[in-house]
């Protein structure tokens, strides 16, 4: 990779626009949904008991007003936003190196599931061989989905260090070209197209139905929250909104140090490694180097917040039961922040007495009936 501090200067809203023009024929324009019940829950103070054991214990709970706009990438091809970045990265690779060379060498990546399926799909669509390094503990449905697109799967350990070691071994044998899962210019621009669609859909929706917004005049998307694992989605969304007033936040699990982005921002230094078995399996990786250059810029990302495993499960249950939408645990960390993270809720209450319109990116829906049953057994 080129120097991240130099490369980040080319990450602009226009680069995201260019990516969108290229990938439109290959990806879905996913729906933007609202839900009055979840608006009401978010706009009701938590019980005082919910604050026990937190820095806010004994204080009056915050009473923000929040209107949600859910960007449902769980309905994207392969069931996750990752299709955007994978198609963009592979199309650019073919542009740069020529179709003959890419088809001869093939592509390789490492992923717990969603990027794996996305690159397998893109490679199959564009007639390119794909080698996918997957942790042996990956969700069975994600393994099956990856294999269904004709990719060759090679299993590895669960940490990023273990995955990358196997990538090097397979590259040495095959000559395959690496398409990183998140820490890559073209991946970031592709993921940023999620924000481009979200903003267009929000403006159209609130123009047609003004009552959906907290704003009486000139509706504006106040904030967008995305999950943060490797950081490609958050960096892409932040890149698109970098010349706008919309604030971008990251959301993470706190379990076993999975909140490396939040901790890194607090310390002013990127956390280079993560070892966690959070139920949000798509968020078990540290923020990438290039992504960190975007996310650590306070002019682009306003902060990151973490939630517990129980809060993730509670948010997921609400989406399943109230929205009738299938999502995976990683997808709902942003919603969980809005519902249960008292620090974030106090921020909304303080900054906006009239409330915020908040975009929530549901990053994916790749789970199984068995996995959901196990979570709530």
The predicted-structure confidence for 200-212, as pLDDT tens digits, reads as follows 999 999 999 999 9
Question: Which region among 159-168, 309-318, 357-366 has the lowest average model confidence (pLDDT)?
Answer: 159-168
Cβ–Cβ under 8 Å, residues 249 and 348: no
Residue 280 has pLDDT above 80, yes or no: yes
pLDDT for position 141 = 82
Cβ–Cβ under 8 Å, residues 315 and 339: yes
Report the b/e string of 5-41 with b at 16+ CB within 10 A: eebbeebbbebbeebbebbeebbeebebbbbeebbeb
Same fold, 4-30+32-71+184-376 and 81-178: yes
CB atoms within 10 A of CB 255: 20
Cβ–Cβ under 8 Å, residues 133 and 95: no
Average pLDDT over residues 164-183: 92
Residue 89 has pLDDT above 70, yes or no: yes
- Active-site annotation holder among 43, 71, 111, 112: 112
pLDDT band at 159 (very low <50, low <70, confident <90, very high): confident
Residue 1 has pLDDT above 70, yes or no: no
Question: Which region among 114-123, 133-142, 222-231 has the lowest average model confidence (pLDDT)?
Answer: 133-142
Angle at 108 between CA 106 and CA 110, to 5 degrees: 165
- Give the CA radius of gyration of the chain: 20
Report the b/e string of 43-58 with b at 16+ CB within 10 A: beebeeebbeeeebee
Residues comprising the chain, all counted = 377
* Domain assignments of the chain as residue spans, ordered by start: 4-30+32-71+184-376, 81-178
Active site (annotated) includes residue 104: no
Report the CATH fold assignment for 4-30+32-71+184-376. Rossmann fold (3.40.50)
Average pLDDT over residues 86-112: 95
DSSP codes joined into one string, 108-167: EEE-SSHHHHHHHHHHHHTT--EEEEEETTS-HHHHHHHHHTTPEEEEE-SSHHHHHHHH
Distance CA 370, CA 224 (A): 31
Options 3.20.20.70, 3.30.565.10, 3.40.50.1100, 3.40.50.2300; CATH for 81-178 is 3.40.50.1100
The predicted-structure confidence for 111-126, as pLDDT tens digits, reads as follows 877 899 999 999 999 9
**Cα dihedral 132→274→114→330 (10° resolution):** 170
Contacts 24+ apart (CB under 8 A), 54-61: 54/342, 55/343, 56/342, 56/343, 56/346, 61/342, 61/345
The pair of structure tokens assigned to 372 is 């959901």
Active site (annotated) includes residue 112: yes
pLDDT for position 250 = 98
Task: Please choose, from the candidates 243, 328, 240, 217, the residue with its C-alpha nearest in 3D space to the C-alpha of residue 280.
Answer: 328
pLDDT for position 163 = 84
- Active-site annotation holder among 71, 82, 142, 300: 82
């Amino acid at each position: 990779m080129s120097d991240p501090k130099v490369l980040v200067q080319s990450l602009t809203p226009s680069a995201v626009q260019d990516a969108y023009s290229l990938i439109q024929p290959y990806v879905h324009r996913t729906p933007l949904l609202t839900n009055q019940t979840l608006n009401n829950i978010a706009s009701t103070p938590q019980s005082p008991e919910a604050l026990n054991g937190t820095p806010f214990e004994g204080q009056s709970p915050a009473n923000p007003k929040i209107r949600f706009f859910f960007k449902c990438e769980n309905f994207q091809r392969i069931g996750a936003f990752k299709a955007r970045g994978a198609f963009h990265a592979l199309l650019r690779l073919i542009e740069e190196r020529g179709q003959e060379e890419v088809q001869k060498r093939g592509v390789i990546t490492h992923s717990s599931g969603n990027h794996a399926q996305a690159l397998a799909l893109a490679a199959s669509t564009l007639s390119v061989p794909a080698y996918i390094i997957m942790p042996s503990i990956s969700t069975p449905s994600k393994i099956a989905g990856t294999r269904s697109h004709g990719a060759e799967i090679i299993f590895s350990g669960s940490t990023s260090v273990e995955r990358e070691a196997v990538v090097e071994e397979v590259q040495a044998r095959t000559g395959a070209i690496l398409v990183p899962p998140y820490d890559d210019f073209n991946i970031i621009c592709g993921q940023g197209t999620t924000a481009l669609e979200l903003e267009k859909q929000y403006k159209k929706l609130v123009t047609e139905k003004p009552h959906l917004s907290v704003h009486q005049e000139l509706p504006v998307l106040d904030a967008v929250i995305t999950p943060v694992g490797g950081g490609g989605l958050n960096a892409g969304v932040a890149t698109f909104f970098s010349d706008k007033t919309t604030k971008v936040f990251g959301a993470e699990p706190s379990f076993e140090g999975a909140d490396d982005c939040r901790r890194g921002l607090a310390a002013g230094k990127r956390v280079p490694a993560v070892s966690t078995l959070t139920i949000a399996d798509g968020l078990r990786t540290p923020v990438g180097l290039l992504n960190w250059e975007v996310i650590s810029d306070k002019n682009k990302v306003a902060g990151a917040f973490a939630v517990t495993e129980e809060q993730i499960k509670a948010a997921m249950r609400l989406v399943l039961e109230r929205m009738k939408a299938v999502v995976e645990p990683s997808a709902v960390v942003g919603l969980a922040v809005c519902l249960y993270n008292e620090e974030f809720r106090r921020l909304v209450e303080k900054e906006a007495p009239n409330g915020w319109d908040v975009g929530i990116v549901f990053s994916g829906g790749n789970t199984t009936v068995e996995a959901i049953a196990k979570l709530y057994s």
